[in-house]
């Protein structure tokens, strides 16, 4: 559904994106994460046809990213999305439906259904009088007015309160269940981890790692085992009537079990702790991995 091949973007001597290659399958949610200045937004804008690549190319549903036909298949939500504040949600969405040549009766039904799903009230209020969360819901509705196959969402919950943020994330998950192909960028890695099938990690303009979350965790994460015993063992701390030791291998777990049994006690519980996507991201960033290595996939 999405193919990006060696995307590169230069601004004079500055290289914002150094050669991004990835694909996103139909119905997949693909996350793009990285620190500020990593090249995420530039990459998404090249995918959406809003920036012309210095080199490389991108296709959406087999169509070149710079063509009008492609834009009819795409819904794009930028991080900053100014609205026409003198318009109401209904007039604003009707205006964009007209730009996409959506028939009037279809547009009216679609926009009201979408606003219903987003639980947006006060549809005749001017956009300038609405809260940031309500405006964001209208911007999301705008990205869906042409019933696109592909959605590119750049920080969809940026700056929103926790309640609205959770709602936006849940709505994005619903769109994925409905079969939309979604490219999703967010600084909140918990949201990325909860919604994405695969993730690309960018740093200094390059994709430095990518793959499904299990593969990324296996390559860059850590597994820790929390072992609880009835007697004191080396490196253990007393906790809630038992002794708690944290180890990083099953061999160390068995060593702890043997130490407990030798002291006349036993292991009463073992809990496994896997690295979060945030832990993985920090490990990748600290490892200095370059774009020549991709995790879990071929580079082509």
How far, in Å, CA of 280 to CA of 262, rounded?
37
63 and 139 inside one domain: yes
Is 127 within the bounds of a domain?
Answer: yes
The count of domains in the chain is 2
Is 50 within the bounds of a domain?
Answer: yes
The pLDDT score that the predictor gives to residue 289 is 52
155 and 6 inside one domain: yes
142 and 249 inside one domain: no
The pLDDT tens digits of the residues spanning 78-129 come to 998 889 999 999 999 999 999 999 999 999 999 999 999 999 988 999 999 9
The pLDDT score that the predictor gives to residue 288 is 56
The pLDDT score that the predictor gives to residue 15 is 96
The pLDDT score that the predictor gives to residue 71 is 87
The pLDDT score that the predictor gives to residue 300 is 38
CATH of the domain at 249: 3.30.1490
11 and 146 inside one domain: yes
231 and 195 inside one domain: no
CATH of the domain at 159: 3.40.50.300
The pLDDT score that the predictor gives to residue 249 is 92
Two tokens at 245?
A: 């030791």
Q: What angle do CA 99, 102, 108 make, to 5 degrees?
A: 110
262 and 153 inside one domain: no
The pLDDT score that the predictor gives to residue 291 is 42
Residue 13: partners with Cβ closer than 8 Å, 6 or more residues away = none
96 and 146 inside one domain: yes
Using alpha carbons, select from 72, 64, 69 the residue that is nearest to residue 47: 64
195 and 230 inside one domain: no
Tens-digit pLDDT string for the chain (300 aa):
899 999 999 999 999 999 999 999 999 999 999 988 999 999 999 999 999 999 999 999 889 988 889 989 999 999 988 899 999 999 999 999 999 999 999 999 999 999 999 999 889 999 999 999 999 999 999 999 999 999 999 999 888 888 888 888 899 899 999 999 999 998 888 889 889 999 999 999 999 999 998 889 888 888 899 999 999 999 999 999 999 999 999 999 999 999 999 999 999 999 998 888 888 888 887 775 544 444 445 443
* DSSP H or E segment with residue 248: none
Is 296 within the bounds of a domain?
Answer: no
Is 294 within the bounds of a domain?
Answer: no
114 and 263 inside one domain: no
Q: Which residues of 119-150 are buried (b: 16+ CB within 10 A; e: fewer)?
A: ebeeeeebbeebeebbbbbbbbbbbbbbebbb
How far, in Å, CA of 115 to CA of 121, rounded?
8
125 and 167 inside one domain: yes
Using alpha carbons, select from 176, 170, 141 the residue that is nearest to residue 30: 176
Is 137 within the bounds of a domain?
Answer: yes
29 and 143 inside one domain: yes
pTM over 0.85: no
17 and 144 inside one domain: yes
* Domain extent at residue 249: 223-274
Is 293 within the bounds of a domain?
Answer: no
Is 19 within the bounds of a domain?
Answer: yes
The pLDDT tens digits of the residues spanning 41-72 come to 999 999 999 999 999 999 998 899 888 899 89
Torsion sign (Cα): 268, 274, 276, 280:
positive
């Amino acid at each position: 559904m999405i193919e990006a091949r060696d995307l590169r973007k230069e601004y004079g001597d500055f290289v914002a994106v150094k050669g991004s290659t990835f694909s996103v399958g139909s119905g997949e949610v693909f996350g793009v994460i990285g620190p500020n200045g990593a090249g995420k937004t530039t990459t998404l804008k090249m995918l959406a046809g809003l920036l012309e690549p210095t080199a490389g190319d991108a296709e959406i549903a087999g169509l070149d990213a710079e063509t009008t036909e492609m834009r009819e298949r795409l819904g794009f939500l930028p991080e900053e999305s100014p609205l026409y504040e003198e318009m109401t949600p209904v007039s604003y969405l009707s205006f964009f439906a007209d730009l996409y040549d959506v028939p009037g009766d279809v547009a009216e039904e679609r926009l009201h259904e979408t606003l219903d799903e987003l639980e947006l009230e006060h549809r005749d209020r001017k956009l300038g009088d609405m809260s940031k969360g309500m405006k964001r819901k209208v911007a999301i509705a705008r990205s869906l007015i042409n019933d696109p196959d592909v959605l590119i969402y750049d920080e969809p919950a940026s700056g929103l309160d926790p309640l609205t943020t959770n709602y936006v994330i849940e709505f994005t998950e619903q769109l994925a269940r409905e079969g939309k192909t979604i490219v999703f960028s967010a600084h909140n890695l918990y949201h990325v981890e909860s919604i994405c099938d695969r993730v690309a990690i960018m740093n200094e303009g390059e994709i430095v790692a990518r793959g499904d979350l299990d593969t990324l965790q296996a390559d860059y994460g850590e597994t820790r085992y929390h072992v609880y015993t009835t007697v004191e063992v080396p490196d253990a701390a007393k906790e809630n009537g038992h002794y708690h030791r944290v180890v990083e291998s099953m061999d160390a777990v068995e060593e702890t079990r043997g130490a407990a049994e030798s002291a006349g006690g036993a292991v009463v519980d073992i809990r496994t702790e896997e690295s979060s996507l945030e832990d993985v991201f920090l490990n990748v960033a600290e490892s200095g991995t370059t774009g020549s290595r991709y995790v879990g996939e071929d580079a082509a």
